[in-house]
Structure 1
Amino acid sequence: MPVISVPQAFNEDELYVDLEGIFGQSLFLKCEGFNFAGSIKLKAATEMVEAAERDGLLTEDSVLVESSSGNLGVALSMIAASKGYRFLCVTDSRCNLSTRMMIEALGSQVHIITEPDPVSGFLGARIDHVRALCASDDRYVWLNQYTNPSNGMAHYRRTAPAIARQFPDLDVLFVGAGTTGTLMGCARYFRQWHRPVRIVAVDSVGSVTFGGAPGRRMIPGLGTSRRPPLLDESYVDDVVCVAEPDTIRACHRLARRGFVFGGSTGTVVSGAMDWLSRQEGRELTAVAIAPDLGERYLETIYQTNWVQDLYGGAGGAPPPRERGAVPVPATAGARAPA
């Protein structure tokens, strides 16, 4: 029975979902959302804060500040509450309302950027704001997940070894690309492993991470509007780019089988299934990393009006239920006609 005294001490690291019965392709989905922060970002947040403490960067007067699309903001809020630090999360208008409310519930503050930079988008505008804060007051400490080596080191030390223990015959690993911390940490670990593992990065259409054309992206988590400094493409074997309607379709398909995952997970699963469908005649041991669960997306990718307003008929309407819909009376208490 686990007994903890701080929330970051717990993370379920050995749970996988076999997706073959849902998608018809063998793929094991590593679930990273079962911790008190609700996402894989807990690992990076913990590693970065502890490194800053070891380096003497944090004092009782310090104010942690970070640019985040949501999940890292929640993780840092939780750790800040646990350790007694103040934290300011700089996000943008695409951040889910429930995520912002979670950050505030943990005692941290949220600053929302409403206008993107003309060249570098919302990410660039967020980073510019963080830099301005740090220049204005030396109490602000920016962990900078985009360049901080501890971001990737968290997954080199924890995520990749956990996968290796469970899948000693691993052939291919699918990892979503945001800051690329998870991607690079896992890729570096498996580059040194006892057998070759193909690393497939999954990105969003509209992201410039791997040289694609910039475009509108409304689902937070994966993709960037500027190339991540942590990225070293020599460690990446393939890249799959997923359009947001396909992300939504994957999420809805999983939900219809009882698994409510977040947008980043839907993107990774969609990209993985696309890549696996092109490997004719090959039996592969494949794992994909699911960064988070879906409760924070109920007002967006699981909300019909939001999907229809943004994507119209291409917006990933959920598939019909296999056993038919449950009949609901038009009026509560109405009697059926005799």
Structure 2
Amino acid sequence: MDLSLLESSLSIGAVAPVPLIARRPAHLVGNTPILWIDAPFAPAGRGFYAKLEGANPGGIKDRPGLHMVREARRRGDLAPGAPIIESSSGTLGLGLALAGLTYGHPVTVVTDPGMEPSMVRLLTALGAQVDLVNAPHPDGGWQQARRARVADLLDAAPSGYCPDQYHNPDNTAAYRPLAAELIAQLGRIDVLVAAVGTGGHSAGTAAVLRERCPELRLVGVDTIGSTIFGQPAAPRLMRGLGSSIHPTNVDYGAFTEVHWVAPAEAVWACRQLARRHYASGGWSVGAVALVAGWVARTSPAGTRIAAVFPDGPYRYLETVYNDAWCLEHGLLGHEPPPEPDEIADPDECVVTGWTRCSRVRDPLGREARSKAGVR
């Protein structure tokens, strides 16, 4: 938009849309804005459209938090007033806190020492109880340790309900409205770039978009050290994407390619977004922006690219945006290369930086077994 037109539209007396008046906080979820992102990720005339899910009260997982609880109540799996107990690294915890407030359920969020102190305080302020595991599982790391603790808490609370975001199809279904919003805002979409953790928002959004845009390319973004796409498990500094288990919500057949991104590369992208576009977020946002910029640079002119930014920056002020913390972890002064490394097979080698693979398969072979009728 021309700067003079923008200034005119913001002047006193200009006609502006009437802001939404919400009677309940859950009514604020959805209808998030889109921002055009170009330099320094793509040259003039190239770029991508960022869906700013951080505009939801708690981030993108407000959508599945509300939807999974609503559906569980509808089916009778969750009794009125019964406790909700779930594992989360943070953002789903916010969504479940909102759902607990909306539908009248106490919420316990099981997490690990990697959760930022600010997030613990926020969840507590929102009425959730935070339960901290103190040691990683020998095989499944912190994620499996949290899930084991959830199981223990459910044993002690027979009426309790765990949404099980990793394997619950309601998690995937929760993103139909997000896809509908993208279609209304952008019309045709050629490429969707999405971070992958539980697999919910990539699978749910792409499935609906393909009903309108059958040639859609889905580009997955993971973190180094994540097992989702066939890499070996390793300690992961980046939270909100990646996994040390294999969620069944991941739709492997939907992906055109996958990229792995390292923490220093995501930090660079997050800070560039903040400085150049006044819109940024956490690890997932930085990783997605890095990959979406590459897609914009390497795709034919006119390719319409949508990228999902799952959250905003405030949770990460003491990590991604803290110079002392980043220096301690060796994350500053590492501008990413212009192109990712390429591997032909997801388990060809252990990736340690931005890497791309155009062959995507379920590392557990579940898709092949399912097609063969084997359970």
2:135 partner SS: coil
Alpha carbons of structure 1 residues 232 and 65: separation in structure 2 relative to 1, 3 Å: same
Tell me the secondary structure at the aligned position of residue 231 of structure 2.
Answer: coil
SS of equivalent residue, structure 1 residue 140: coil
Q: Percent identity?
A: 31
Which residue does the alignment assign to 2:79?
A: 59
1:29 partner SS:
strand
Q: How does 1:16-35 map to 2 (within 5 A)?
A: 16-24=34-42, 25-35=46-56
Deviations 1:45-87 (Å, cap 9, x if unpaired)?
A: 1110100110112234411001011001011112212332111
Match of 1:264 among 269, 281, 284: 284
1:294 matched to which residue of 2?
Answer: 313
Cα distance in 2 for partners of 1:221, 1:294 equals 13
C-alpha change, 1:86 and 1:231, in structure 2 (3 Å) is: same
Q: Tell whether the 8 Å contact from 2:66 to 2:98 is kept in structure 1 after alignment.
A: no
Deviation at 1:11, TM superposition (A): 2.7
Residue 57 (structure 2) pairs with residue 36 (structure 1)? yes
Determine the structure 1 residue equivalent to 2:97: 77
- Alpha-carbon distance in structure 1 between the residues aligned to 2:27 and 2:273: 29
The code of the aligned residue for 2:316 comes to Y
CA RMSD of aligned residues (A): 1.8
2:167 maps to 1:147:
yes
Aligned to 2:363: none
* Correspondence for 1:104 among 124, 140, 149: 124
Structure 2: 5+ residue stretches without partners = 1-18, 337-375
The residue correspondences of 1:172-321 to structure 2 (distance < 5 A) are 172-257=191-276, 258-279=278-299, 281-311=300-330
Kept after mapping to 2: 8 A contact 1:170/1:285:
yes
The answer (yes or no) to whether the contact 1:262–1:297 under 8 Å persists in 2 is: yes
Q: Which residue of 2 aligns with 1:7?
A: 25
Distance 2:205 2:119 in 1: 26
CA separation of 1:148 and 1:217: change in aligned 2, threshold 3 A: same
Q: Aligned letter for 1:242? A: V
- Cα displacement string for residues 18-37 of structure 1 (whole angstroms, at most 9, x for unaligned residues): 11144224111010111222
Structure 1 length normalisation: TM-score? 0.88
CA contact (8 A) 2:37 2:48 kept: yes
Tell me: CA distance 1:7–1:14, structure 2 relative to 1, closer, same or farther (3 Å): closer
CA contact (8 A) 1:89 1:108 kept: yes
What's the secondary structure of 1:141's corresponding residue?
coil
Deviation, structure 1 residue 208: 0.7
- Give CA deviations for 1:264-296 in whole Å, capped at 9, x if unaligned: 1111111222344444x5431101000000011
User: 1:137 deviation in Å?
Assistant: 2.4
How many corresponding residue pairs? 314
* CA positional deviation for 1:163: 0.8
1:86 aligned partner, one-letter code:
P
Q: In structure 2, what is the Cα distance between the partners aligned to 1:67 and 1:74? A: 12
Deviates more, 1:87-96 or 1:133-142: 133-142
Q: Which residue identity does 2:247 align to in structure 1?
A: P
Describe how 1:101-180 pairs up with structure 2 within 5 A.
101-155=121-175, 157-180=176-199
Deviations 1:217-271 (A, max 9, x none): 1121000001111112111111111111111000011111222322211111112
2:9 alignment partner in structure 1:
none
The one-letter code of the counterpart of 1:31 is: L
Match in the other structure for 1:333: none
* Cα distance in structure 1, aligned partners of 2:184 and 2:81: 41
Please state how far the C-alpha of 1:315 moved relative to its aligned partner: 5.9
Measure the CA separation in 2 of the matches of 1:64 and 1:165.
34
Distance 1:5 1:56 in 2: 26
Q: Could you say what secondary structure the match of 1:201 adopts?
A: strand
SS at match of 1:251: helix
Distance in structure 1 (CA, Å) of the matches to 2:152 and 2:335: 40
**Corresponding residue SS for 1:88:** strand
Query: 1:308·1:315 contact (CA, 8 Å) conserved in 2?
Result: no
User: 2:16 aligns to what?
Assistant: none
Q: Verify the 8 A CA contact 2:219 2:256 in the aligned structure 1.
A: yes
- Residues in 1 aligned to 2:331 and 2:222: alpha-carbon distance in whole angstroms: 22
For 2:355, the equivalent position in structure 1 comes to none
Deviation, 1:12, is 4.8
Q: Return the alpha-carbon distance in structure 2 between the equivalents of residues 284 and 3 of structure 1.
A: 36
